[in-house]
């Protein structure tokens, strides 16, 4: 006869055995754990994550767990009385447990038993599979220079901050000072880029002394600052795949080679030349990456230069605030889009033809005849745009004549359509050809400046450069914005220019602005 | 026994609830794991790359000049105060009154001036204007005539540009554009009224180019027909040179 043990009110049995209810709970938990393990094996097997050996071992372990759990469940819990009203004989409960055990064994067998217990078996192996990742790299070529590759960075992170400068312009004068560079951005990798972005870089410098992982850092030793750092600015130091933010604990002036930071432990080693970005920059004209300094020499021998003058303060980067700036794209098929500058969609006067306003001058490519009216001006490849209706003034010596553009002309065009007019002089290639309407428009523009670009388009406000499909039209739904190397669309061409407005004041004499541009692609 | 049974039922219900909770936790963990195996790779495995053009450098030029009166020292436009800047009102006087250098009717006085562009930008315009001309008694005359040399029929003036030898005449800019200057009636008065500010300069043409110099001779005299009212009277005037790019 099976005599139930006496169950004590405190939950322990009279024989000092382990309490019955916690033991039952533990057993059921064990069973649940086994079920969970089985489920994980199902998921793992289905996803192919397990090798056969691992799968078999997991199956065996799960089976063991189930076995232990089931064995324990099959035992009547000591001291557990029958429930009142429960007429189920113990043999029925026993049968249920047996059936449950059989079901579990079946499940386990379904998942892994075939490999473990089949007598017949067969197997094939596909050896030597290989997987290789693609590449996403970018080329950056200025004019006809050498292509600068993103992977050529000293910071070893596919982020090259040292590509050629776009513009090096000296001795600019109001109303005439201008320059333009042709920039070719290429996807030199094997993977399409779904995104291409243009942005203003953060003010930056580089480490001139290594930071060692685990060291307590209270200051950063850097190359001379070109932009001031304010207390509280966040300085991001990066090298390779590591980066860490430091917070400036005190200001540092332009030219400083050390920046005090709030004490923190370095999380990685950052060698000399690691990149240091002031991610608090570009918040205002005073903190733009574009920075002004006084010139310390002149390209004209003996001429005055910035540091000799007392009326050209550099507070708030006045030249950066005055210099007009544009980014004009021209596709391989001659389609145009103005991404920034007067004429862009964000400017006060968007252009329906996709033209940025440029300070356009030209040179005649042949001498004009005076015998009959002409309807176009033959010019050497234009370095700027002309809008329909613009006044085109030719001047040679004391001779001058104004033509009116009858249609738009674009960068690289070799003629300017004009309303029919007979030249009043046989103008030669020595004549100056000037789009005076364009100059007037630019002289009245105080918006599209380098400073405005920096504050309006920092990394967080970067411009997405959708593919240009027609003049002033982009395909914003395109899934690829810079195709992989050598596919159609793997290269895009931009013309980046600046202009010093005629209204520039004396206070802008003898100043030098430095500024960069960031080009970024994503997979 | 009945209490014990009720207690057991209650404990059983608690265990069932706890077990269900545990199942839910485990199931949730499985779902999270499964989602993770599917989605994590897509969210964090994107390639990207970046290039930055080294800082472009654009610098403005300078437009400054100096004036040298006679054999004096150069006076620089940027030698004045910082505001408004590039304006120097303290350069040497062209003529300085002294008892030994008094004017007499028909006897001219001249002074040579060199204007040098010592900036890096060529000047597209050079101009000259006279902000003020006021009469004053010399104090030397026992009985000043009371006339006004700045007024009509007062002093006469010319502006002659010369070669670098400061002798050979090139262009007379005032009172009449020709090669060599000569005095004309009411020259000072007319100049002062016609070219009183920077918006009404006497246009001296373009230039000088950067680092180049232009030479001028300023002449002034009492007219040969000067009346006695101009005895013992002096004219004090400012002459300002203005250059623009």
Residue A319 counted as domain residue: no
For residue A92 the two structure tokens come to: 């029925």
How far is CA B143 from its chain centroid?
46
Interface with B, mutate which of A241, A311, A325, A504 (most B CBs under 10 A): A311
Separation of alpha carbons B104 and B223, rounded Å? 8
Greater confidence (B51 vs B35) lies with B51
Predicted pLDDT of residue B40: 36
Residue A224 counted as domain residue: yes
- Whether the CB-CB separation of A272 and A296 falls below 8 Å is answered with no
What average pLDDT is seen over chain A? Answer: 86
Interface contact B5-A138, CB threshold 8 A: no
**SS3 label, residue A443:** helix
Residue A61 counted as domain residue: yes
Separation of alpha carbons A101 and A116, rounded Å? 19
Question: CB-based contact (8 Å) between B44 and chain A?
Answer: no
Question: CB-based contact (8 Å) between A305 and chain B?
Answer: yes
Residue A72 counted as domain residue: yes
Predicted pLDDT of residue B81: 94
CATH of the domain at A377: 2.40.30.10
The mean-pLDDT minimum among A156-170, A333-347, A402-416, B97-111 falls in B97-111
**Interface pTM (ipTM) of the complex?**
0.76
The confidence band for A63, taking pLDDT boundaries of 50, 70 and 90, is low
Predicted pLDDT of residue A182: 97
Interface contact B30-A520, CB threshold 8 A: no
Task: Give the CA angle between residues B55, B60, B64 to the nearest 5°.
Answer: 155
For residue A405 the two structure tokens come to: 């553009």
- The β-bridge partners of A186 are A139, A491
Sign of the alpha-carbon torsion through A95, A97, A100, A106:
negative
Interface contact B120-A28, CB threshold 8 A: no
Question: Which segments of chain B does DSSP mark as H helices, in order?
Answer: 2-44, 187-194
Q: Residue B60: which of A24, A25, A319 has the nearest Cβ?
A: A319
Interface contact A506-B15, CB threshold 8 A: no
Nearest CA to A509 out of B24, B61, B95 is that of B61
List, for residues A332-388, the tens digit of each pLDDT value.
999 999 999 999 999 888 999 999 999 999 999 999 999 999 999 999 999 999 999
Greater confidence (B58 vs B27) lies with B58
Domain boundary among A254, A280, A306: A280
Separation of alpha carbons A272 and A206, rounded Å? 7
How large a percentage of chain A has pLDDT more than 90?
71
Nearest CA to A235 out of A244, A223, A225 is that of A244
Q: Is the pLDDT of residue A217 over 80?
A: yes
The mean-pLDDT minimum among A105-109, A458-462, B174-178 falls in A105-109
Domain boundary among A265, A280, A295: A280
- Whether the CB-CB separation of A306 and A296 falls below 8 Å is answered with yes
Predicted pLDDT of residue A30: 64
Q: Residue B49: which of A158, A164, A300 has the nearest Cβ?
A: A158
10 Å Cβ neighbour count for A122?
Answer: 5
The mean-pLDDT minimum among A421-435, A493-507, B25-39, B173-187 falls in B25-39
Greater confidence (A340 vs A70) lies with A340
- Whether the CB-CB separation of A147 and A139 falls below 8 Å is answered with yes
Predicted pLDDT of residue B97: 81
Greater confidence (B97 vs B87) lies with B87
10 Å Cβ neighbour count for A77?
Answer: 17
Question: CB-based contact (8 Å) between A224 and chain B?
Answer: no
Predicted pLDDT of residue A157: 82
| DSSP structural state of residue B121 | S
Interface of A with B in 307-326 (CB under 8 A): 308-313, 319, 323
Q: Is the pLDDT of residue B42 over 70?
A: no
- The β-bridge partners of A258 are A221
On the CB side of A1, CA atoms within 13 Å amount to 3
Interface of A with B in 39-78 (CB under 8 A): 39-40, 43, 47, 49
Instruction: Give chain A's radius of gyration (CA, Å).
Output: 38
Interface with A, mutate which of B2, B53, B85, B245 (most A CBs under 10 A): B53
Separation of alpha carbons A392 and A395, rounded Å? 10
What domain range includes position A26?
A: 20-80+89-118
Interface of A with B in 136-155 (CB under 8 A): 136-140, 142, 148-151
- Whether the CB-CB separation of B110 and B215 falls below 8 Å is answered with no
The confidence band for A108, taking pLDDT boundaries of 50, 70 and 90, is low
Separation of alpha carbons B59 and B77, rounded Å? 21
The confidence band for B46, taking pLDDT boundaries of 50, 70 and 90, is confident
List, for residues A183-210, the tens digit of each pLDDT value.
999 999 999 999 999 999 999 999 999 9
The mean-pLDDT minimum among A73-77, A102-106, A376-380, B51-55 falls in A73-77
Greater confidence (A96 vs B72) lies with B72
Residue A170 counted as domain residue: no
Predicted pLDDT of residue A94: 64
The confidence band for A27, taking pLDDT boundaries of 50, 70 and 90, is low
Interface contact A304-B78, CB threshold 8 A: yes
- The β-bridge partners of A514 are A291, B57
Separation of alpha carbons B200 and B130, rounded Å? 9
Nearest CA to A180 out of A502, A411, A352, A451 is that of A411
- Whether the CB-CB separation of A354 and A471 falls below 8 Å is answered with yes
The residue behind tokens 């938990």 is: A29
| Mean pLDDT to the nearest integer, A430-434 | 97
On the CB side of A493, CA atoms within 13 Å amount to 14
The confidence band for A103, taking pLDDT boundaries of 50, 70 and 90, is low
Predicted pLDDT of residue B138: 83
Class of residue B41 by CB neighbours under 10 A (exposed 0-12, middle 13-18, buried 19+): exposed
Q: Is the pLDDT of residue A113 over 50?
A: no
Residue A323 counted as domain residue: no
Q: Is the pLDDT of residue B219 over 70?
A: yes
Q: Is the pLDDT of residue A88 over 50?
A: no
Domain boundary among A280, A295, A315: A280
Closest chain A residue to the Cα of B38, Cα to Cα: A47
Q: Is the pLDDT of residue A431 over 90?
A: yes
Interface contact B78-A517, CB threshold 8 A: no
The residue behind tokens 């070799």 is: A414
Interface contact B54-A162, CB threshold 8 A: yes
The answer, yes or no, to whether the previous bond of B84 is cis (omega within 30 of 0) is yes
User: Length of chain A in residues, anyone?
Assistant: 523
The confidence band for A83, taking pLDDT boundaries of 50, 70 and 90, is very low
The two most distant CA atoms of chain B are separated, in Å, by: 148
List, for residues B117-170, the tens digit of each pLDDT value.
999 999 999 999 999 999 988 877 777 889 999 999 999 999 999 999 999 999
Instruction: Give chain B's radius of gyration (CA, Å).
Output: 43
Residues of A in contact with B83 (CB under 8 A): 311
Predicted pLDDT of residue A122: 85
Q: Is the pLDDT of residue A87 over 70?
A: no
**SS3 label, residue A17:** coil
Residue A68 counted as domain residue: yes
User: Length of chain B in residues, anyone?
Assistant: 245
Interface of B with A in 100-159 (CB under 8 A): 118-121
Predicted pLDDT of residue A52: 52
Question: CB-based contact (8 Å) between A295 and chain B?
Answer: yes
Predicted pLDDT of residue A174: 96
How many domains does chain A contain in total? Answer: 3
Residue A276 counted as domain residue: yes
Interface with A, mutate which of B3, B13, B55 (most A CBs under 10 A): B55
CATH of the domain at A219: 2.40.10
Interface contact A136-B85, CB threshold 8 A: no
Greater confidence (A282 vs A61) lies with A282
For residue A424 the two structure tokens come to: 């009043």
């Amino acid at each position: 006869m099976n005599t139930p043990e006496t169950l004590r009110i405190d939950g322990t049995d009279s024989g000092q055995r382990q309490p019955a209810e916690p033991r039952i709970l533990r057993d059921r938990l064990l069973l649940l754990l086994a079920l969970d393990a089985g489920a994980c094996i199902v998921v793992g097997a289905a996803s192919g994550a397990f090798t056969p050996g691992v799968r078999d071992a997991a199956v065996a372990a799960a089976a063991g767990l189930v076995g232990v759990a089931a064995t324990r469940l099959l035992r009547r819990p000591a001291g557990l009385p029958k429930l009142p009203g429960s007429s189920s004989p113990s043999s029925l409960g026993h049968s249920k447990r047996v059936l449950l055990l059989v079901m579990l064994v079946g499940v386990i067998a379904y998942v892994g038993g075939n490999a473990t217990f089949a007598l017949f078996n067969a197997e094939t192996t596909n050896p030597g599979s290989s997987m290789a990742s693609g590449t996403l790299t970018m080329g950056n070529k200025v004019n006809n220079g050498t292509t600068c590759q993103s992977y050529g960075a000293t910071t070893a992170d596919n982020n090259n901050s040292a590509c050629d400068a776009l513009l090096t312009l000296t001795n600019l004068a109001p109303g005439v000072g201008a320059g333009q560079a042709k920039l070719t951005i290429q996807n030199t990798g094997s993977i399409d880029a779904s995104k291409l972005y243009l942005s203003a870089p953060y003010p930056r410098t580089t480490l001139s002394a290594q930071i060692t992982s685990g060291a307590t850092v209270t200051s950063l030793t850097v190359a001379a600052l070109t932009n001031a750092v304010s207390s509280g600015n966040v300085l991001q130091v990066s090298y390779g795949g590591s980066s860490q933010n430091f917070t400036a604990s005190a200001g540092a002036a332009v030219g400083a080679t050390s920046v005090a930071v709030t004490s923190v432990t370095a999380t990685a080693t950052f060698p000399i030349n690691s990149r240091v970005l002031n991610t608090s920059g570009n918040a205002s004209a005073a903190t733009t990456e574009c920075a002004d300094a006084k010139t310390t020499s002149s390209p004209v021998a003996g001429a005055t230069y910035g540091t000799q003058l007392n009326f050209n303060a550099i507070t708030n980067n006045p030249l950066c605030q005055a210099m007009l700036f544009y980014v004009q794209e021209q596709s391989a098929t001659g389609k145009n889009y103005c991404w920034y500058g007067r004429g862009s969609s964000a400017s006060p006067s968007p252009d329906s033809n996709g033209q940025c306003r440029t300070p356009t001058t030209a040179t005649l490519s042949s001498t004009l005849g005076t015998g009959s009216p002409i309807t176009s001006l033959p010019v050497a490849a234009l370095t700027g745009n002309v809008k329909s209706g613009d006044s085109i003034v030719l001047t040679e010596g004391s001779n001058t004549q104004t033509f009116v553009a009858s249609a738009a002309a674009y960068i690289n065009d070799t003629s300017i359509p004009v309303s029919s007019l007979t030249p009043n002089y046989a103008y030669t290639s020595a004549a100056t050809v000037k789009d005076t309407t364009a100059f007037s428009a630019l002289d009245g523009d105080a918006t599209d400046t380098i400073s405005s670009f920096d504050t309006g388009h920092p990394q967080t406000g970067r411009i997405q450069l959708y593919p240009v499909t027609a003049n002033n039209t982009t395909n914003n739904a395109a899934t690829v914005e810079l195709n992989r190397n050598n596919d159609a669309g793997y290269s895009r061409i931009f013309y980046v220019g600046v202009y010093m407005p005629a209204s520039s004041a004396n206070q802008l004499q003898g100043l030098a602005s430095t500024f960069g541009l960031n080009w970024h692609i994503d997979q | 026994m009945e209490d014990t049974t009720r207690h057991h039922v209650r404990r059983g219900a608690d265990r069932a609830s706890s077990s269900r909770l545990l199942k839910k936790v485990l199931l949730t963990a499985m779902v999270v794991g499964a989602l993770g195996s599917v989605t994590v790779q897509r969210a964090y495995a994107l390639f990207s790359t970046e290039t930055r053009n080294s800082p472009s450098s654009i610098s403005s030029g300078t437009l400054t000049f100096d004036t040298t009166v006679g054999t004096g020292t150069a006076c620089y436009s940027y030698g004045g105060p910082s505001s408004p800047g590039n304006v120097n009102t303290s350069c040497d006087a062209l003529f300085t009154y002294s008892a030994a250098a008094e004017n007499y009717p028909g006897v001219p006085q001249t002074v040579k001036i060199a204007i040098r562009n010592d900036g890096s930008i060529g000047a597209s315009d050079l101009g000259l204007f006279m902000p003020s001309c006021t009469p004053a008694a010399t104090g030397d005359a026992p009985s000043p005539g009371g006339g006004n040399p700045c007024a009509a029929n007062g002093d006469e003036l010319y502006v002659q540009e010369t070669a670098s030898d400061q002798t050979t005449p090139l262009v007379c800019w005032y009172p009449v554009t020709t090669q060599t200057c000569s005095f004309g009636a009411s020259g000072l008065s007319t100049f002062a009224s016609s070219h009183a500010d920077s918006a009404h300069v006497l246009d001296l043409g373009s230039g000088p180019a950067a680092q180049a110099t232009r030479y001028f001779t300023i002449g002034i005299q009492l007219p040969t027909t000067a009346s006695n009212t101009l005895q013992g009277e002096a004219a004090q005037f400012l002459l300002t040179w203005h250059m623009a790019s």
